[in-house]
Amino acid sequence: MRRYRGVVILLILFGLAVTLISIPQININALGIHFDRGKPNTPLGLTEGLDLQGGTDLVFQGVHADGSPPTADDMQGVRKIVEQRINQFGLNQPNIQLLGNPPNRLLVQLPGLSGSTINLAFAGNPVTASELQQYFQTTLNHPEATVTAQPQTSGPTKFTISLNSLQPAVTSTTSTEGHPSEADTIRQALAKKYPAVMTVEYPVGGNTSTSTAATSTAATSTSTSSTSTSATATSATSTPHYEAPTVANIQAVLGALNITNATVKQDGPWKYSITLPDLQGQSVDSSGNVTYQEALDVSVALGETFGPPITSSLTGELSEYNVSGGLAQIEALISHTASLEFKERDCASLNAPNANTPWPPDGLTQAEWAVQRCTNPKYYQEKATGLTGKSLKNAYAGTEPGQVNPVVFIQFDSAGAKTFYEVTSRIAQNGGALAIYLDGKQLVAPTAQKGIAGGNAYISGNFTAEQARTIAIQLRSGALPVNLNLIQERHVDATLGQDTVHKSIIAAVIGLALVLIFMSTYYKLPGIVASLALLLYAAILLAAFKMAPVTITLSGIAALVLSIGTAVDANVLISERTKEELRAGRTLFAAINEGFDRAWPSIRDGHMSTLITAVVLFWFGDRLGTSIMQGFALTLAAGTLTSLFSAFVASRIISRALARTWFGRRLTMWVPTGGVGLESAAEPGD
């Protein structure tokens, strides 16, 4: 059995490799070891590159506003900020890395396509996140949809729905009427699914009227109409009306507007609820607010007929709808140069500037004024301080003795610290504030008790830990240290990728099969040995790719096919040498040994030169075409090394084992087709 030890080891190795390949996902999580390899939904559980699974590759060039190249520190900062921005965007598993030496470019890889996100809200919260998710997954054909809810302190709950893609993704700002994109179709389906309820309540005793000038057609068509009013809420002289509109009255108004599917319910003597399914005339403004022409028409018609209601509200309808995730939006998000501005705020005077002026102004109470004079833009004035995001060295959340709530620590650089001292001295003196704006939106506007020297300060307030952290992040990520220009972009749709994967697998299998058939028929036994070695080669290589894990790209598959060539070459070289030695009259064993030894220098040098090429490719891959090159180089290198093992170790073991069997006495089976017949019988030796 000892003489077959090598074969047994090879078989175990082969078995192990095949097992690793065939188990889609390997997940070991025991004894403190976390090992998680293999992906669901990919062939053999291999990790696919963006060109195969679908996704987007973006390369940004970092450059200072004055055109000077960024430092390594700048780019590290950029990387962190972009990471935060992308995470905030909610994209899955982005890969962000710096390119170049010293780094001056940023590669952002976003797998699984651009991943569209819908942000929406329904007035009056008629739906829960799980219901919505169910609806997206089953009815709207988005089984991958995930819905998260963010309850708001005021207003309806906001839902975020993450989808793989919307085809074609049209953002809400460019909604095209009449050509429903999927984003539009979904919006309409949602509006239909969750009907709007309009509740109207009239003042008991009916409305008053100053004129009948605005009598509408709707009004005249109802028999018990109250006199119309031109929607002026306040009127000095009035004639009371005591008859409340009936359900039929309201239905008549709706009927005049050609609304037939509405149901009207009387909730009280002067209170009605009108259910309006499938509201027509949707429109979405740039910030995602959805309005409905039909609802507007109804409320105008009702107002004209029955006079202005005390309350008239619409609930249940889709009130907000925002689609993001178009490629352009992600690009804009990443390269966006947010501006962090520090402004000195002068609040309006607490006391009247002179005795004659009524104070506080606008009929405010003293308590209201105390707050509003510093918070309402109407009353305060601001001026630039010269402090920018650049002056801010760091910002982080923490706790401070004497402060109950978490605070945000800020650090300015030396120049910034000087300005900061001057500004804080002034605002401490005149009771102003330091207003901090991110992209024109106020982040926080702290006051100061005294001038703060040294550039270290903290901002306190009724912050929760989460709020403090968010403010710190926003302060930190305020501005990118350099400008980012999009210089390269590759985007591959998931379906195209899948198509390529299938075609490539078929091609690779056909290629390998052709090679095996050819080798076996031409070289006979050595060819079969080589084929077995090649199969082992393929199994080990794939298992290694899965375990490493190496990302398989399109060019990687090409490299794989090419490395099959290298592996074949090694086997051909050995077979040819063995043949020559047999012809020279050596015994089979001697011929096999000699064949391997003589083929070695060629195989070594050939493999080395391929490895050198792979290394150069990998080195330049960083500069050229990003992922294409490096994937190719890595696969080629791995393939070349595995080929060396398969040809030199595996083939030799199999050949020697075969030579000891019955095959060892059939010398003609060891010589290629067309070879010279050999007479001398070889003895199996050790």
Partner 1 sequence: MYIDVVGRRNAFLGFSALLILVGMIALAIPPHLNLGIDFTSGSTFDLNFTKDPGIAAVRTALADANYPDAIVQGAGGGDYLIRTPDLGENGLDAIKAIVTKEIGSDFTVPSVSSTSPSVAKNTVRDAITAVGVGAIFVMLYIAYAFRTVPKSYRYALAAIIALMHDVLVVLGLFAVLGRVIDAQVNAIFIVAILTVVGYSVNDTIVVFDRIRENVRLMPSRQFRTTVNISVTETMTRSLLTSFTTALAVLAMLLFGGASLRDFLIALLSGIIIGTYSSIFIAAQILVLWEEGAFERFKFWRRWTAPQAEQAT
The least CB distance from residue 322 to partner 1, in Å, is 16
Q: How far apart are CA 524 and CA 671, in angstroms?
A: 7
Q: Closer CB to partner 1, residue 11 or residue 507?
A: 507
Least Å from the CB of residue 591 to partner 1: 16
Cβ nearer to partner 1, comparing 375 with 500: 500
Q: How far is the CB of 90 from partner 1 (least distance, A)?
A: 21
Q: 428 vs 508, which CB is nearer to partner 1? A: 508
- Minimum CB separation of residue 517 from partner 1 in Å reads 10
Provide the minimum distance between the beta carbon of 564 and partner 1 in the complex, in angstroms, as a whole number: 5
The least CB distance from residue 528 to partner 1, in Å, is: 15
Q: In terms of CB distance, is 511 or 684 closer to partner 1?
A: 511
At closest approach, how far in Å is the CB of 510 from partner 1? Answer: 4
CB of 523 to partner 1, least distance (A): 9
In DSSP terms, 273 is beta-bridged to: 199, 265
Helix (H) or strand (E) holding 635: helix 627-645
What whole-number distance in Å separates Cα of residue 527 and Cα of residue 529?
Answer: 5
Q: Which residues, listed in sequence order, are joined to residue 383 by a DSSP beta bridge?
A: 344
> Smallest distance, Å, CB 256 to partner 1?
35
Dihedral sign (CA 151, 154, 156, 161): negative
CA gap 647, 537 in Å, rounded = 9
- Element (DSSP H or E) covering residue 283: strand 282-284
**Closer CB to partner 1, 312 or 520, in the complex:** 520
Q: Which two tokens stand for residue 556?
A: 């990687």
Angstrom distances, CA of residue 520 to CA of 174, 175, 572:
62, 62, 11
Angstrom CA distances, 165 to 65, 70, 560, stand at: 35, 35, 31
- Complex with partner 1: residue 231 or 615, whichever CB lies closer: 615
Task: List, as one string, the DSSP characters of 476-505.
Answer: HTSS-SSEEEEEEEEEE-HHHHHHHHHHHH
Whose structure tokens read 């910034």?
A: 416
Residue with Cβ nearer partner 1 (90 or 672):
672
Pairing of strands 95-99, 263-268: unpaired
Which residue is listed with tokens 């794939």? 542
- From residue 355, how far is each of 164, 360, 372, 596 by CA, in Å? 65, 11, 21, 109
Nearer to partner 1 by C-beta: 90 or 180? 180
Minimum separation from the CB atom of position 570 to partner 1 (A): 9
For the bound state, the minimum distance from the C-beta of residue 606 to partner 1, rounded and expressed in Å, comes to 4
Q: Residue 318: CA atoms inside 13 Å, Cβ hemisphere, count?
A: 28
**Shorter beta-carbon distance to partner 1: residue 24 or 606:** 606
**344, 385 contact by CB (below 8 A):** yes
3-state SS, one letter per residue, for 422-474: HHHHHHHHHCCEEEEEECCEEEECCCCCCCCCCCEEEECCCCCHHHHHHHHHH
- Cβ(593)–Cβ(578) below 8 Å: no
**Nearer residue to partner 1 within complex by CB, 165 or 424:** 165
Q: Which is nearer to partner 1, 426 or 491 (CB)?
A: 491
Q: At what angle do helices 554-583 and 627-645 cross, to 10 degrees?
A: 30
